[in-house]
Amino acid sequence: MIKITKVNIYNFENAIRGARNPMNSWDRTDSYYNPDGQYILGENDLQLALKLCKAGTDHRKFMRQIIVSADIYAPLYWWKEFDTYKIGTTANSTSTMHKIHTKKFEPDDFSHDRLDEESEKILLDLLNFLEKIREKYNESKDKSEWYKIIQLLPSSYNQLRTCTMTYENLTSMYNARKSHKLYEWREFCEWLKTLPYANELIIEQE
């Protein structure tokens, strides 16, 4: 499973203005803010953005200046792959090191929506065992018990991270992951399509 909330997009105006710096063409800017505060690309600015995108990464530097912030709740096995995108991304996560023992283990703390009945039972048995260890650790503060939790914790454990990315990062992610075997990636790519001008600046640039 994957959930993406609290989405904000920043710096569109500055990115487009900067894209006009090389040719001193600021007078051709025709973008504006609508009554809802959304930045709307005018035809001139949109055509420039498309031209730069098609010219390749060296020319579409403005894409690195469009910032997306979002809260992403996803399993560790997905985060392991997300973490390959280090350049231009930042994330603050909830901490398994400091907080894994503070909350009772429950099935919905894990991605288990693709499990059959037998697999679900195995997960529940493991959660019951983890819960016993957690209670023992909270009573004794014996670090060996804490290590058991960390080393037995399934990669399906869901973690919340507040992430910042750029449109350039998202372009790389979409191109590489849109048909990935993990459905979480495919859902992420579907979410990506909902961002302003994602279709023009990201999707159509394949």
Please write the tens of the pLDDT for every residue from 134-147.
999 999 999 999 99
162, 72: one domain: yes
Average pLDDT over residues 93-118: 92
Q: Which residue range forms the structural domain that includes residue 126?
A: 101-152
Going by C-beta distance under 8 Å and a sequence separation of 6 or more, which residues neighbour residue 158?
Answer: 1, 73, 74, 75, 76, 108, 109, 110, 111
Is the pLDDT assigned to residue 5 strictly greater than 90?
A: yes
Which position has the higher pLDDT, 96 or 123?
123
Tell me which of 116, 131, 152 is where a domain ends.
Answer: 152
Is the pLDDT assigned to residue 46 strictly greater than 80?
A: yes
27, 8: one domain: yes
Domain CATH code at residue 70: 3.30.1360.170
19, 34: one domain: yes
Q: To which H or E segment does residue 40 belong? A: strand 39-40
74, 14: one domain: yes
Supply the pTM of this predicted model: 0.93
Please write the tens of the pLDDT for every residue from 54-86.
999 999 999 999 999 999 999 999 999 999 998
Q: Which residue has the tokens 């290590």?
A: 147
40, 88: one domain: yes
